Structure 1
Amino acid sequence: MTDTAEAARRPERAILSALTHGAGEQGANIAAAVLPAIRELDEDRARFYGDLVLNSLDDTARRALESMVKGYEYQSDFAKKHVAQGRDQGRREGRLEGERAALLRQLRARFGELPDAAVARIEAAESAALEQWAERVLSANSLADVLDMPS
């Protein structure tokens, strides 16, 4: 199914078409018809169906579809919401990684090479713990004092 209007009228049939033929030579055209149609569905179904469609494509079809939508500005509130959520999550993760890297640099400068357990603990920590440890680095006498670890 490569007709967008037909896909909009029968979204489940369009999904089946993508699952059946998505890895074939018409995969990108099928996805290009199906994806706009499922935007009109409720959020959970749209996300589920979109994932199914994209997963059904082979690499060639996926690249072709990506080139079709390159520079495309999303129109639906659904897509805009999820793009914004992805950006926000990426920013949070980037800040957290920056905090972890800064703390590791400070600890290495102060105490030398760090044990693997300390590095693993820092790499798994959330922002509140990192902030607390970063404050302790200034006055701690040992790595254990900073991380509340037994020496």
Structure 2
Amino acid sequence: MVVEVQRGRDPGKRWSWPVYLASVRARMRCPAILLVICTDAPVARWCEGPIEMGHPGLRLVPIVIGPQTVPVVVDPLEAARVPELAVLSAVAHGAGVDAQPILEALISALTDIDEDRSRLYADFVLMMLPEVARKHMEGLMATGTYEYQSDFAKKYVAEGKLEGKAQGKVEGKAEAIFIVLYSRGVSMSPESRSRIEACTDAAQLDEWIQRSATAKTVDDLFSRTG
């Protein structure tokens, strides 16, 4: 599966998506599909358009998950049953005017899964939300609202990820890079991972985050850098 996070219209993707898909299919020797995740409904509709390949009968129609296709999850029990759906719900609807119950359901679900997944899901949602919604979610997590007092939450806050400490922010940025590259199927050597983890320059990490959205290899991430 090739997973793309698309925030805006990019005509270049109509040419690169078929390449990604064919490359994965050839490398893995198995059927492959293209999944595009959008947080904006008009962008999602644009992504759904078929891509004519030119060869008779050959066209690529991306599978798109947008706000209109993601259910709103506000029930903590439902979120706990399928935390991944709660993650998608928070990404798709967490910036709306009625977002608080959605974020509360997600936060509640994070207490019932293992710490590694909790960190991964929380960082992914925080990365995807716009600034105002992100700060809202951070506030809920940091204050322990709605009995969010698990060991994970206490460690998350203590390490500064939600209190604005520099080290916590740097670690969060590095994890965001890993999430995006992993979701796009970009492999990474232990040396490359160590290089990202060792970086303490927030501006450099921000640049790498942007590049990770389009990088075809991890070398693309480091190109044109000092």
- The TM-score with structure 1 as length reference comes to 0.47
- The TM-score with structure 2 as length reference comes to 0.33
Of Structure 1 and Structure 2, the greater helix share is in 1
